[in-house]
Chains A and B, each alone.
Chain A
Amino acid sequence: MRAVLRRIGTGLVVLWAAASAAYLALLAAPGDTVDSIVGDGADTPLIRSQIIAEWHLDRPAVVQYLDYLGRAGHGDLGRSYLLQRPVRDVLAGQAWPTLKLALSAAVLGILLALVLAVTTRRPWARRVSSTTELVLVSTPPFLIGIILLSVFSFRFGIFPVAGDRGFAALVLPAVTLALPIAGVLTQVLREGLDRALDEPFAVTARARGLRASAVLIRHALRHALLPAVTLIGWLFGILLGGAVIIESVFGRPGLGQVTLSAVTSKDMPVVLAVVVLSAAVYVVLNTAADLTYLLIDPRLRGSRP
Chain B
Amino acid sequence: MTAATAQLSLGRRRPRPGFAVAVAFLLLILLVALWPGLFAGDPLRADPLQVLQAPSAAHWFGTDQLGRDVFDRVVHGARHSLSIGLAATAIGVTAGILLGVLAGLAHRFADEALSRSFDALSAFPLLLLALLFIAVAGPGTISLVVAIGIATLPHYARVVRAQTFVVRQAGYVTQAVAFGDPRIRLVIRHVLPNVLGPVPVLAMIGLGEAILAAAGLSFLGMGPQPPSPEWGAMLSEGRGYLHIAWWASILPGLAVTATVISLTVTGRHLQRRFEGRTDGAGS
- Of the candidates A142, A149, A245, the one having the most CB atoms from chain B within 10 angstroms of its own CB is A142
Q: Mark B129-160, 1 if CB is under 8 A from A, else 0.
A: 10111111101000000000000000000000
Q: 8 Å CB contacts to B: which residues of A203-240?
A: 233, 236-238, 240
Could you say which residues of chain A place their CB within 8 Å of the CB of B125?
A: 236-238, 240-241, 278, 282
The reply to whether B5 and A10 form a contact with Cβ atoms under 8 Å apart is no
Looking at the complex, which one of A18, A131, A241 makes contact with B126 (CB distance below 8 Å)? A241
Q: Mark A134-161, 1 if CB is under 8 A from B, else 0.
A: 1101111111001101100010000000
**Count, chain A residues at interface, CB 8 A:** 56
The reply to whether A135 and B116 form a contact with Cβ atoms under 8 Å apart is no
Q: Does A263 contact B (CB under 8 A)?
A: yes
Docked pose: A146 CA to B250 CA in angstroms = 7
Docked pose: A127 CA to B11 CA in angstroms = 10
Looking at the complex, which one of B127, B135, B261 makes contact with A266 (CB distance below 8 Å)? B135
- Of the candidates A137, A138, A248, the one having the most CB atoms from chain B within 10 angstroms of its own CB is A138
Q: 8 Å CB contacts to B: which residues of A119-138?
A: 127-128, 131, 134-135, 137-138
Residue of B nearest to A270 (CB): B135
Give chain B nearest CB distance to A283 CB in angstroms: 5
Q: Does A275 contact B (CB under 8 A)?
A: yes
Could you say which residues of chain A place their CB within 8 Å of the CB of B134?
A: 263
The reply to whether B242 and A25 form a contact with Cβ atoms under 8 Å apart is no
Docked pose: A141 CA to B5 CA in angstroms = 17
Residue of B nearest to A142 (CB): B219
The reply to whether B253 and A146 form a contact with Cβ atoms under 8 Å apart is yes
Could you say which residues of chain A place their CB within 8 Å of the CB of B222?
A: 263
Could you say which residues of chain B place their CB within 8 Å of the CB of A188?
A: none
Q: Does B257 contact A (CB under 8 A)?
A: yes
Give chain B nearest CB distance to A135 CB in angstroms: 5
Residue of B nearest to A131 (CB): B9
Name A's interface SS.
Answer: helix
Q: Does B80 contact A (CB under 8 A)?
A: no
Give chain B nearest CB distance to A58 CB in angstroms: 22
Docked pose: A286 CA to B22 CA in angstroms = 35
Could you say which residues of chain A place their CB within 8 Å of the CB of B124?
A: 18, 22, 237, 275, 278-279, 282
Docked pose: A237 CA to B155 CA in angstroms = 15
Could you say which residues of chain A place their CB within 8 Å of the CB of B116?
A: 10, 13-14, 17
Docked pose: A131 CA to B261 CA in angstroms = 10
Stretch at the interface among B55-63, B168-176, B192-200, B208-216: B208-216
Give chain B nearest CB distance to A221 CB in angstroms: 23
The reply to whether A244 and B128 form a contact with Cβ atoms under 8 Å apart is yes
Docked pose: A263 CA to B134 CA in angstroms = 7
Could you say which residues of chain A place their CB within 8 Å of the CB of B208?
A: 138
- Quick one: given A140-B219, A140-B256, A142-B235, are A134 and B265 in contact (CB under 8 Å)? yes
Q: Does B121 contact A (CB under 8 A)?
A: yes
Q: Does A107 contact B (CB under 8 A)?
A: no
The reply to whether B242 and A154 form a contact with Cβ atoms under 8 Å apart is yes
Docked pose: A14 CA to B113 CA in angstroms = 10
Could you say which residues of chain B place their CB within 8 Å of the CB of A248?
A: 219-220
The reply to whether A137 and B126 form a contact with Cβ atoms under 8 Å apart is no
Could you say which residues of chain B place their CB within 8 Å of the CB of A149?
A: 242
Q: Does B232 contact A (CB under 8 A)?
A: yes
Could you say which residues of chain B place their CB within 8 Å of the CB of A143?
A: 235, 250, 253-254, 256-257
Looking at the complex, which one of A25, A127, A138, A259 makes contact with B212 (CB distance below 8 Å)? A138
Q: 8 Å CB contacts to B: which residues of A91-122?
A: none
Could you say which residues of chain A place their CB within 8 Å of the CB of B216?
A: 140-142, 241, 245
Docked pose: A56 CA to B172 CA in angstroms = 58
Give chain B nearest CB distance to A18 CB in angstroms: 4
Docked pose: A278 CA to B117 CA in angstroms = 16
The reply to whether B242 and A14 form a contact with Cβ atoms under 8 Å apart is no
Residue of A nearest to B253 (CB): A143
Docked pose: A22 CA to B224 CA in angstroms = 24
Looking at the complex, which one of B5, B135, B221, B250 makes contact with A271 (CB distance below 8 Å)? B135
Q: Does A62 contact B (CB under 8 A)?
A: no
Could you say which residues of chain A place their CB within 8 Å of the CB of B261?
A: 134-135, 138
- Quick one: given A140-B216, A140-B256, are A262 and B235 in contact (CB under 8 Å)? no
Give chain B nearest CB distance to A27 CB in angstroms: 9
Docked pose: A245 CA to B208 CA in angstroms = 18
Q: Other than A21-B121, A139-B260, A279-B123, give 7 A-B pairs with Cβ distance below 8 A.
A: A17-B116, A25-B133, A140-B212, A238-B125, A240-B128, A263-B222, A275-B131
Q: List 23 A-B contacts (CB under 8 A).
A: A10-B119, A15-B123, A17-B116, A17-B117, A18-B121, A21-B120, A22-B124, A25-B136, A29-B136, A140-B232, A143-B253, A146-B249, A146-B250, A240-B125, A240-B128, A244-B131, A248-B219, A263-B222, A268-B135, A272-B132, A275-B131, A278-B124, A279-B123
Which 4 residue pairs are nearest across A and B when measured between Cβ atoms? A241-B127, A237-B125, A143-B253, A17-B120
